[in-house]
Amino acid sequence: MAEKLEELESFVIPGKIDIPNTYFAGLAGSRFLIELRDNRRIMGIKCPACNWVYVPPRSTCKVCFSKLEDWVEVSDKGTLLTCAIAYQPSPVQPVEPPIAYGIVHLDGADSGFVHLLGEVDFDQLRIGMRVQAVFKEERAGSILDIKYFKPLG
């Protein structure tokens, strides 16, 4: 028998575990989702010390660790910082592939917001393009209440 972990034979067990779950979005996340659902508004939260605006909101500033409570409405328009296209299906994707994801810098926010991109030819996607949120008609209190971001103009 091996005396040290380094002397043990490596043993790998292949498998797949699908675990359905639910979780509490937290106070900041709950208000964010309620605003999307009820008012079609994208809300951020501003740090009182460094003035950083987070979307989606969080309860503590990642820069200075201040408590965040100052809610601000940000625009539903922004600039595409980067994007990726997925062609392979996955059970975690909300729509069938191909699917485009982007990080959007919303006007009035300082953080990037990851979401789907739609109404766009993938060959036309480019860093710096202006985009706008498209909200679903029937909203349920989910990040997917924003259907996707589409190009402006």
pLDDT number for residue 84: 95
Number of domains into which the chain is organized: 1
Whole-number Cα distances in Å, 55 to 35, 67, 87, 153: 13, 15, 27, 24
10 within a domain of the structure (yes/no)? no
- 3-class secondary structure, 137: coil
Mean pLDDT of 143-149: 97
109 within a domain of the structure (yes/no)? yes
15 within a domain of the structure (yes/no)? no
37 within a domain of the structure (yes/no)? yes
Q: Which domain holds residue 42?
A: 22-151
2 band by pLDDT with thresholds 50, 70 and 90: low
Which tens digit of pLDDT belongs to each residue from 83-106? 999 999 888 888 899 999 999 999
Q: Residue 149 and residue 80: Cα distance in Å, rounded? A: 9
- 3-class secondary structure, 56: coil
CB-based burial label for 2 (10 Å; 0-12, 13-18, 19+): exposed
132 band by pLDDT with thresholds 50, 70 and 90: very high
83 within a domain of the structure (yes/no)? yes
| 105 touches 127 (CB < 8 A) | no
Cα-only R_g, the chain = 20
Which tens digit of pLDDT belongs to each residue from 25-52? 889 999 999 999 999 999 999 999 999 9
